[in-house]
Amino acid sequence: MNYFELYHIPESFLPDEKAIKRRYYELSREYHPDFYANEDLGTQQKILELSTLNTNAYRTLSDSDLRMQYILKEHGLLDEGGKNEIPGDFLMEMMEINEELMELEFDFDAAKLHEIGEKSTGTMAQLENDILPVLQRYPELHGVTKEEALEEVKTYYLKKKYLLRIQETLSKFATRS
């Protein structure tokens, strides 16, 4: 079952967080295994599955990155095999940052590390700023317009994942310095 349907909320990248939490608690009470301790094993198993589904739905819908990944997967847009394409200009920019990071491996420079950190933080902020209007208007879109929005979100998601790996590398440098 689709998590948004389970929670009776429209598919959205920016859903009502309170509605998610409220529905989670409603279903947690409804499907609490202790209330079904005297039922037959089949019923107990079904309740346990529903309880697990509720927990997974809550974890996914209450985390913006997991929610984004979930929506993209639901629409068949994330290829697990790795054919997810990132625009070439972005990859070139990231390649430059990666080269600078490799240079830091051999010749550490705190000022350069800070500069790379600022560059990646600025790129992330720009990405988030650019995608926000798409995320906000997504629930109102239909047809081709919705498909185009999903493609924009997919590109954002892939770029963000790439940038997060770079920021993870930066944090490893920071702990060494």
Q: What share of the chain is helix, strand, coil (3-state, %, to 5)?
A: 80, 0, 20
pLDDT tens profile 51-106: 999 999 999 999 999 999 999 999 999 977 656 789 999 999 999 999 999 998 88
| Mean pLDDT for the stretch of residues 137-165 | 96
d(CA 65, CA 62): 9
Q: What is the pLDDT of residues 110-139, one digit of tens each?
A: 899 999 999 999 999 999 999 999 999 999
Token pair in block for residue 11 = 């598919």
Give the residue-averaged pLDDT of 46-51: 96
CATH no. of 3-62: 1.10.287.110
